[in-house]
């Protein structure tokens, strides 16, 4: 019996090896963790938000009574929500534009040869490496009404009057500029990395031929380099838009949506209504307004990307 068992063991091992060598088994096996991750951490919370949004659930009255679209109608009728929606679009678009422009300038500088270029490339990722709470607290000090280093610099340069210093986080228009700048600062390393990858993919002989033909700096940048790296930039815009649209950390830590809801975005409003106030049903309804906007934005950007590839 022991001889038969010893003979069968190598056959079972060989059969299992053969099974794991088959692509139709190996492929699903490798992709299964990613699918589980999406289902557990994205799919289930999304379905739960749908369920809560059509109920009357709150932490004070945990009732799952079906109320239909009543929560969505009440959210849309709210003036604060309409202002929040406009703020979210302004915040996302302005942070994207500033972040990508700074990223392009930073990448162009880092493409040049200069002493300490490797150190500069390493330091450029600091906004990513520093925890967002710590970095935002530093920005709170820089925007402080009394100790702002920005105001001190502007006064020293003679650009503003010391008696009329701007209240960066206390005035409605300046507060929106402040949160957009801080978020663009967080996007800056991502923009630099994307543009560096794009610039290095442009064939040098194409640039040399354009230079010989008399193309200057602007013509090379906007008629040769930009069309070549456009698909890479489009991917950066998609990721940046999703990242900015769903982010609440910068706004909540800097202004908590104030003053007078001037910097309130969908993420902070949903957090304040659903978590801090305990009105889970309305908080879930506010969260779900993120989905159609992001879906439309991503579809439009992917269509544009596909046309360019064709």
User: Is pLDDT of 2 > 70?
Assistant: no
Query: Helices 23-38 & 2-21, crossing angle to 10 degrees?
Result: 70
Asked whether 95 and 183 are in contact (CB, 8 A), the reply is yes
Compute the mean pLDDT over every residue in the chain, rounded to the nearest whole number.
Answer: 84
Alpha-carbon distances, residue 167 vs 145, 248, 259 (angstroms): 5, 22, 11
User: Is pLDDT of 124 > 60?
Assistant: yes
User: Across 152-298, where does the E strand assignment appear?
Assistant: none
Residue 63 confidence (pLDDT): 77
pLDDT band at 74, cuts 50/70/90? very high
| 137 contact partners, CB below 8 Å, separation of at least 6 | 253
CA triplet 84, 86, 90: central angle to 5 degrees?
A: 115
Residue % of the chain over a pLDDT of 90: 20
Distance in angstroms (rounded) separating the CA atoms of residues 100 and 228: 16
Asked whether 212 and 221 are in contact (CB, 8 A), the reply is no
The two counts, helices (H) then strands (E), for the chain are 17, 0
Distance in angstroms (rounded) separating the CA atoms of residues 86 and 289: 12
User: Is pLDDT of 121 > 60?
Assistant: yes
Query: Helices 132-142 & 149-156, crossing angle to 10 degrees?
Result: 40
Distance in angstroms (rounded) separating the CA atoms of residues 245 and 294: 8
Residue 222 confidence (pLDDT): 83
For the segment 185-231, what is each residue's pLDDT rounded down to a tens digit? 988 888 898 888 888 888 888 888 888 888 888 888 888 888 888 88
Alpha-carbon torsion, ordered 181, 183, 185, 190, to 10 deg: -140
Distance in angstroms (rounded) separating the CA atoms of residues 179 and 171: 12
């Amino acid at each position: 019996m022991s001889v038969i068992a010893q003979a069968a063991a190598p056959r079972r091992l060989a059969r299992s090896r053969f099974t794991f060598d088959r692509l139709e088994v190996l492929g699903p096996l490798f992709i299964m963790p990613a699918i589980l991750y999406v289902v557990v951490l994205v799919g289930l919370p999304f379905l739960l938000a749908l369920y809560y949004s059509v109920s009357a659930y709150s932490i004070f009255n945990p009732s799952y009574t079906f109320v239909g679209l009543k929560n969505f109608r009440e959210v849309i009728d709210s003036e604060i929500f309409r202002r929040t929606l406009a703020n979210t679009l302004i915040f996302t678009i302005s942070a994207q534009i500033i972040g990508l422009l700074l990223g392009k300038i930073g990448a162009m500088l880092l493409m040049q040869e200069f002493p300490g270029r490797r150190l500069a490339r390493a330091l450029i990722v600091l906004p990513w490496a520093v925890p967002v709470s710590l970095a935002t607290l530093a920005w709170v000090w820089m925007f402080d009404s009394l100790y702002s280093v920005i105001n001190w610099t502007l006064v020293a340069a003679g650009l503003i009057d010391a008696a009329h210093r701007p209240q960066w986080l206390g005035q409605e228009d300046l507060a929106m500029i402040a949160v957009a700048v801080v978020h663009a600062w967080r996007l800056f390393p991502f923009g630099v990395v994307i543009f560096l990858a794009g610039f290095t993919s442009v064939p040098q002989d194409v640039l040399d031929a354009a230079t010989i033909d008399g193309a200057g700096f602007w013509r090379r940048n906007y008629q040769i380099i930009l069309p070549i790296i456009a698909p890479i930039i489009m991917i950066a815009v998609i990721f940046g838009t999703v990242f900015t649209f769903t982010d609440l950390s910068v706004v909540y830590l800097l202004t908590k949506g104030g003053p007078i809801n001037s910097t309130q975005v969908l993420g902070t409003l949903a957090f304040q209504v659903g978590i801090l106030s305990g009105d889970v049903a309305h908080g879930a309804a506010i969260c779900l307004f993120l989905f159609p906007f992001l879906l439309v934005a991503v579809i439009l950007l992917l269509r544009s990307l596909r046309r360019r590839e064709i």
